[in-house]
Amino acid sequence: MKILVVFDSVWGNTEKIAKAIGTALEPRGEVKVVKADAAKPADFGEKDLIIVGSATQKFNALPAVKKLLASLPAGSLKGAKVAAFDTRLPVAEAKSRVLKFMAKNFGYAAEKLGKTLVAKGGEQAVAPEGFFVGGTEGPVKDGELERAVSWAGKL
Ligand SMILES: Cc1cc2nc3c(=O)[nH]c(=O)nc-3n(C[C@H](O)[C@H](O)[C@H](O)COP(=O)(O)O)c2cc1C
């Protein structure tokens, strides 16, 4: 099985999750883990499983990963299983009602990435998932790397 994990990350938290997912999938086949700005549309070709992740910023994925997915030709992910993840703040724990309201209404990166992957022809392997960081620069919250490994196990 050929597996691609593409991620974008500012402070390295999403990269840690992406690498944990990549390592967890190694027994399943040939895994390539690549940052969005170093990935090319050709990297998506002939992959059986494609996982895309991004830090959530302004309720969305980072620009490089959005641009990369937008550059994929229509239908080009046909035949591939796809899944999306993000990192995010635990907004449910936030005191600000405005922030909670906005996060509830505008969402996170993973759902949007997942929709784009399906719109490009991919078949959703598992529901999009978010992994929590403790603050804007991290760290990845306790237990989240393990949760990412277990999410990868469902793929
Ligand atoms: C400008 C900016 C906007 C952000 N917007 C959101 C947001 O809408 N929702 C959220 O949960 N976290 C938000 N965050 C926190 C990021 O999700 C967090 O920095 C990220 O998960 C860290 O991952 P990274 O180290 O891979 O960049 C924002 C952070 C920045 C700097």
Per-residue pLDDT of 108-151, as tens digits, reads: 999 999 999 999 999 999 999 999 999 999 999 999 999 999 99
Is the pLDDT at 95 greater than 90, yes or no? no
Angle between helices 144-152 and 13-25 (to 10 degrees): 40
Is the pLDDT at 93 greater than 90, yes or no? no
Give the residue, by CA position, lying nearest to ligand 1 atom 28.
57
For residue 89, which atom of ligand 1 is closest to its CA? 11
Average pLDDT over residues 15-33: 98
CATH number at residue 69: 3.40.50.360
For residue 60, the model assigns a pLDDT of: 97
When the pLDDT of each residue in the chain is averaged and rounded to a whole number, the result is 96
**Ligand 1 centroid distance, CA of 27 (Å):** 31
- Testing ligand 1's pocket by substitution, the residue of 88, 99, 129, 137 carrying the most ligand atoms inside 8 A of its CB is 88
Instruction: Report whether 18 contacts 9 (CB < 8 A).
Output: yes
Is the pLDDT at 44 greater than 90, yes or no? yes
Domain carrying residue 39 = 2-152
- pLDDT band, residue 69 (cuts 50/70/90): very high
User: Domains in the chain: how many in total?
Assistant: 1
Instruction: Report whether 152 contacts 21 (CB < 8 A).
Output: yes
Pocket, ligand 1, Cβ cutoff 6 A? 9-14, 55-59, 87-89, 91, 103, 133, 136, 138
Instruction: Report whether 113 contacts 54 (CB < 8 A).
Output: yes
Q: What is the pTM of this model?
A: 0.97
Q: What are phi and psi of 46, to 5 degrees?
A: 55, 35
**Cα separation of 59 and 13, whole Å?**
17
Q: What are phi and psi of 67, to 5 degrees?
A: -65, -40
